[in-house]
């Protein structure tokens, strides 16, 4: 009887140790933003209004997490309808042919405190490249409905020319580098 009990305890602990938790992006408390230099003297800011993402964790932090995200390119919003239409065209994102940008993790490494380095594959248009970005883990709390929520953010640069966004390849009018800022709050599923 003692052996059966011990076997049960070890099996239970093994399941708990390898249990994974799923989290889903809360679009009401998240944002996908960008900032790009215009004509070398000013900046244009924008965002994508439609996106989705999920995170699978093994505990109450990002250690060993798996992260995936999808951004609907046609939801680009700079506040200027004519510019947004141009950004959706073949000159930039070619949203009709390539409706989504995606990201999938390949690894995540804890640095110090609540900082991590996230590596993964970013796909924009017909190009997939491995990128490495810093992530700040905000922690886990309970929302107004009593559900657990997790937060993290990242800021990084992307060279648009690397992803076949070739309009103004000199970068004189529209800079080559785009500053990307992601703020995610996720709800435990």
Residues 142-152 have a mean pLDDT of 96
Whether residue 88 lies inside any domain: the answer is yes
Residues 6+ apart with CB under 8 A from 125: 93, 94, 97, 98, 163, 164, 165
| Confidence (pLDDT) at 3 | 57
| Mean of all residue pLDDT scores within the chain | 92
* pLDDT tops 70 at residue 8: no
Can you give the pLDDT at residue 19?
81
Please tell me the distance from the alpha carbon of residue 106 to that of residue 56, in angstroms, as a whole number.
13
Residue 132, in any domain of the structure: yes
- pLDDT exceeding 90 applies to what percent of the chain? 87
- Is 90 strand, coil or helix? coil
| Number of domains into which the chain is organized | 1
| Residue 49 belongs to a domain | yes
Rounded to an integer, the average pLDDT of 136-155 is 96
CATH, residue 58: 2.40.128.110
Looking at residue 147, what is its pLDDT? 96
Q: Tell me, what's the pLDDT at 7?
A: 44
| pLDDT given for residue 1 in this prediction | 56
State the pLDDT at residue 15.
40
Residues comprising the chain, all counted: 189
Asked if residue 175 lies in contact with residue 38, where contact means CB atoms within 8 angstroms, the answer is: yes
Q: Which helix (H) or strand (E) holds 8?
A: helix 2-17
Question: What's the half-sphere exposure (Cβ side, CA atoms, 13 Å) at 51?
Answer: 29
Q: Residue 48 is encoded by which pair of tokens?
A: 């994508």
Q: Is residue 127 included in any domain, yes or no?
A: yes
Task: Tell me which residue has tokens 């995170």.
Answer: 55
- CA–CA gap between residue 147 and residue 100 (Å, rounded): 29
User: Which of these, 148, 131, 145, lies nearest to 182 by C-alpha position?
Assistant: 131
Is 54 inside a domain boundary? yes
Give the separation between CA 139 and CA 23, rounded to whole angstroms.
13
Rounded distance between C-alpha atoms, residue 37 and residue 72, angstroms: 23
Q: In which domain, by residue range, is 78 found?
A: 20-188
**Residue 2 has what pLDDT?**
54
In a domain, 60, yes or no: yes
Span 27-74, pLDDT tens digits? 999 999 999 999 999 999 999 999 999 999 998 899 999 999 999 999
Q: What is the pTM of this model?
A: 0.87
Give the model confidence (pLDDT) of 68-102 as tens digits. Answer: 999 999 999 999 999 999 999 999 999 999 999 99
- Alpha carbon distances (Å) from 41 to 37, 38, 117, 140, 168: 7, 6, 32, 40, 16
Q: What is the pLDDT of residue 46?
A: 98
How many other CB atoms are found less than 10 A from the CB of residue 80?
A: 12
pLDDT tens profile 148-177:
999 999 999 999 999 999 999 999 999 999
Q: What is the mean pLDDT of residues 171-188?
A: 97
**Alpha helices per DSSP H over 111-160:** none
How many Å separate Cα 54 from the centre of its chain? 9
């Amino acid at each position: 009887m003692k052996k059966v009990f011990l076997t049960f305890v070890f099996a239970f602990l093994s399941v708990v140790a390898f249990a994974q938790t799923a989290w889903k992006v809360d679009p009401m408390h998240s944002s996908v933003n960008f900032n790009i230099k215009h004509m070398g003297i000013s900046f244009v800011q924008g965002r994508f209004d439609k996106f989705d993402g999920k995170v699978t964790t093994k505990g109450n932090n990002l250690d060993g997490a798996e992260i995936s995200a999808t951004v609907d390119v046609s939801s680009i919003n700079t506040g200027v309808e004519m510019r947004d239409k141009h950004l959706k065209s073949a000159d930039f994102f070619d949203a009709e042919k390539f409706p989504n940008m995606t990201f999938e993790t390949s690894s995540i490494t804890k640095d110090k405190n609540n900082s991590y380095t996230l590596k993964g594959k970013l796909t924009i248009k017909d190009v997939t490249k491995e990128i490495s970005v810093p992530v700040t883990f905000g922690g886990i709390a309970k929302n107004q409905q009593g559900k657990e929520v997790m937060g993290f953010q990242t800021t990084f640069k992307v060279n648009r020319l690397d992803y076949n966004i070739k309009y103004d390849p000199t970068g004189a009018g529209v800079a080559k580098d785009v500053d990307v800022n992601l703020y995610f709050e996720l709800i435990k599923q």
